[in-house]
């Protein structure tokens, strides 16, 4: 961001186009007029100083794995709505054009459920395209003691979770993380931001070490702007009928471009939706690469 600001005359313009993210799940070209932001919260809860025998001390020594499970259940209801107080405060509502774009987007949910072997979805009946315009709280991973053949008859000493929070326009990363931390306090935990001492652990029934990391705000460029309409025309000339969404589901550091350059960004996707992004065997279909090269050439001559 500092480099961009220092060289503003080289990088500035009416619009920056970001070439990231997947195509629409129908394999039609996707234009996303923004991206969700993200912040991360890590939590560790504590039991005894070390692991205890589950026969000798079960029903007596608190189990941190169970404490963590109860804490996480308190954060979301069965439909996926986040129960943290004020979590949804300040969200910038969608414009009429953005609502129309969602209504016109292909209905893909049933096909995706078959593809992903899902028997149900969250969201209380809302479609995926609408749900990615809302914030989310996701458990990235959990750990406590050992599993399977490595498991022992013990009460774990600690349990940890890493969560990512997807933000939408109007949400501040730091404020949102603080609201989650306050929720943890309301569940009866004494919250610290570093490894607690023995004195702290013995002075409180429930202790949680909580840290928050990162924090990129969400962006959304108006679909009604002349430059937005020009991008749509160029993309559709090159790639045919295009799916247009207010924002992509994932996050990009777009505010780090928009803020120093006082510009706007639009995301032009070229990846395949089934590319195992951020997981094992991440991939790109070669045809997507060739199509993407042609599309970028068309945009460069806009």
pLDDT cut 70: percent of the chain above it: 91
Instruction: Using pLDDT thresholds of 50, 70 and 90, give the confidence band for residue 218.
Output: very high
d(CA 162, CA 210): 10
- Give the tens place of pLDDT for each residue, 50-94: 999 999 999 999 999 999 999 999 999 999 999 999 999 999 999
Dihedrals phi, psi of 158, to nearest 5 degrees: -145, 165
CA 19 to chain centroid: 19
Which among 181, 82, 212 is positioned nearest to 137, based on CA atoms? 82
Check pLDDT > 90 for residue 22: no
pTM of the model: 0.85
Which among 80, 100, 40 is positioned nearest to 224, based on CA atoms? 100
Tokens of 268: 């032009």
């Amino acid at each position: 961001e500092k480099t961009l600001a220092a060289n503003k005359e080289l990088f500035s313009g009416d619009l920056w186009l970001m070439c990231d993210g997947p195509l629409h799940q129908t394999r039609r070209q996707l234009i996303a007029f923004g991206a969700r932001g993200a912040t991360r919260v890590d939590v560790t809860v504590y039991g005894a100083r070390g692991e205890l025998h589950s026969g000798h001390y079960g029903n007596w020594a608190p189990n941190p794995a169970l404490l963590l499970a109860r804490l996480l259940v308190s954060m979301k209801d069965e439909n996926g709505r986040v129960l943290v107080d004020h979590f949804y405060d300040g969200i910038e509502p969608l414009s009429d054009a953005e609502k129309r774009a969602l209504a016109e987007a292909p209905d893909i949910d049933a096909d995706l459920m078959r593809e992903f072997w899902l028997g149900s979805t969250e969201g209380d009946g809302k479609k995926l395209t609408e749900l990615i315009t809302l914030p989310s709280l996701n458990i990235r991973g959990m750990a406590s003691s050992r599993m399977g053949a490595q498991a022992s008859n013990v009460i774990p000493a600690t349990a940890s979770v890493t969560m990512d929070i997807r933000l939408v326009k109007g949400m501040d990363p730091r404020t949102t993380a603080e609201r989650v931390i306050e929720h943890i306090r309301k569940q009866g935990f004494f919250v610290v931001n570093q490894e607690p001492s023995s004195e702290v652990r013995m002075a409180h029934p429930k202790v949680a070490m909580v840290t928050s990391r990162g924090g990129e705000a969400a962006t959304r460029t108006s679909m009604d702007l002349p430059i937005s309409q020009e991008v749509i025309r160029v993309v559709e000339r090159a790639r045919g009928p295009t799916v247009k969404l207010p924002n992509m589901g994932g996050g990009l550091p777009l505010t780090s471009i928009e803020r120093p350059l006082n510009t706007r960004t639009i995301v032009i996707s070229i990846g395949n939706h089934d590319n195992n992004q951020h997981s094992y065997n991440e991939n790109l279909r070669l045809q997507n690469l060739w199509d993407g090269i042609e599309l970028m050439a068309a945009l460069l001559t806009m």
